[in-house]
Amino acid sequence: MLSLIGFATILTIVFLLIKGKVSPIIAMVLIPVIGAFAAGYGFSEIGEFFNQGIDQVINVAVMFVFAILFFGVMQDAGLFDPLINKMIALSKGNIIAICVATVLIAALAQMDGSGASTFLITIPAMLPLYKRLNMDPYLLLLLIAGSAAIMNMTPWAGPLGRTASVLNIDVTELWYPLIQMQIIGMVLMIGLAVFLGFRERRRIKERFGHQVSFQESAAALEESTEEMEKGDGKASFTENSLARPNLIWLNALITIGVVAVLVSGIIPAGFAFMIGLSIALLVNYPKLKDQTERIKAHASSALTMATIILAAGSFLGILTGSGMLDAMAEDGVAVMPDAVGSYLHLIIGLLGVPFDLLLSTDAYYFALLPVVEQIASGFGTDPLSTAYAMIIGNIVGTFVSPLAPAVWLALGLSGLEMGRHIKYSLPWLWGLSIVLLIIGVLIGVV
């Protein structure tokens, strides 16, 4: 009975999240409470489950709030602007160089863990170049999506935070083995950018009958600069009243210091970002009014993710405390053949990108991951191995899914269509995820 109620609870949450009927917070708070009542538990017992669940995720929620605020302030201060401008200038209109620059710019822009800001920075900067040089704008989306998704393996991005909440593990410890996967992934993305750049150059020559001239390249770069200068401030990374170009090196040292402390693990991740944010605000915006405005500007993103994590804590606490999760795992192990159960985490990982088209990020990590992890554990698979297989297999497809709001922002900025974006990008990104998963198995991460 507990197993049936558990599956009904998860399927209801998944259905509501896929259909977009309610906020993830509502789905993950109310549906498990109804399920617990159906299982015969009272308010006092559900309250205890809630407390257990919140204790499990509170550190992750705190880390998210201050990490998003910290990187938001660094974006405002213009920390990454010189690097981005330099990469655009160095490309000099060369098709292959532009493709590689797109990957690197998207990686830098994704440092704050926000897909929306990545598209806001990268598309207005690069789209005029692509259009003027007759490059396919869907190639632009593909390169941004792949690069940003790989950078999304950082602790302050959504997937790792969700996974850490499910496994009740410190998010920085979860991240350490993935650092090498990020490096490998970025090397593969640069290689893919070079390959697709050669293919795009050949396509342009065959279709338009000529290579891009130096004059056309220079005109394209000038047009790109003009477009950036016309930006609304969010999409532009030219100098503005918030930028602090004279403090660029100090801001870089602060950021490197925060990341170094994070990697060392000498203090909790949330505390590291709390200290980093305090120093960043004091150095860049000494006036109280400016500090308050910077916090307000990024508070929405920070609180949205934190509230989802806390709601997930309630959901996981009820599912675990009530015994539903254990019951589902036991029944799943009982009916699943050994030949499949031993490789369940790899099967789900291989199908991770297609799952992204069917499940929202919340549904994948908060509903599917706990069940798969429990069933796989019954066949002797380490929970961390299951988590890494599902993260690596899924995360590359994050920004090709119609269920990701940032993708719709990207389509609006570029004037492109979702269907064609999926058709163009899905095969390459799914292939990349499979290669990354195989590498993860070979080097022992999975």
Secondary structure (DSSP) of 47-64: HHHHHHHHHHHHHHHHHH
Amino acid at 251: N
Counting every residue written for the chain, the total comes to 446
Per-residue confidence (pLDDT) for residue 282, from 0 to 100: 93
Closest CA to 376 of 411, 336, 413: 336
Instruction: Tell the burial category of 52 from Cβ atoms under 10 Å away from its Cβ (0-12, 13-18, 19+).
Output: middle
Per-residue confidence (pLDDT) for residue 329, from 0 to 100: 67
Per-residue confidence (pLDDT) for residue 12, from 0 to 100: 85
Give the contacts of 414 (CB within 8 A, at least 6 positions apart): 123, 127, 137, 140, 141
Q: What is the DSSP letter of 417?
A: -
| Strand, helix or coil for residue 125 | helix
Per-residue confidence (pLDDT) for residue 91, from 0 to 100: 67
Q: What whole-number percentage of the chain has pLDDT above 90?
A: 21
Query: How high is the mean pLDDT in each 10-residue block of the chain (446 residues)?
Result: 82 75 82 90 90 82 83 82 71 82 87 75 78 87 93 85 85 88 94 93 79 52 52 44 85 87 80 92 92 88 80 83 77 69 86 78 80 84 90 88 75 80 90 94 90
Per-residue confidence (pLDDT) for residue 442, from 0 to 100: 94
Kindly report, residue by residue over 272-286, the tens digit of the pLDDT: 889 999 999 999 999
Per-residue confidence (pLDDT) for residue 224, from 0 to 100: 53
Q: Specify the residue for token string 């801001």.
A: 251
Kindly report, residue by residue over 85-109, the tens digit of the pLDDT: 776 677 666 888 889 989 998 888 8
Instruction: Specify the pTM.
Output: 0.70
Per-residue confidence (pLDDT) for residue 446, from 0 to 100: 84
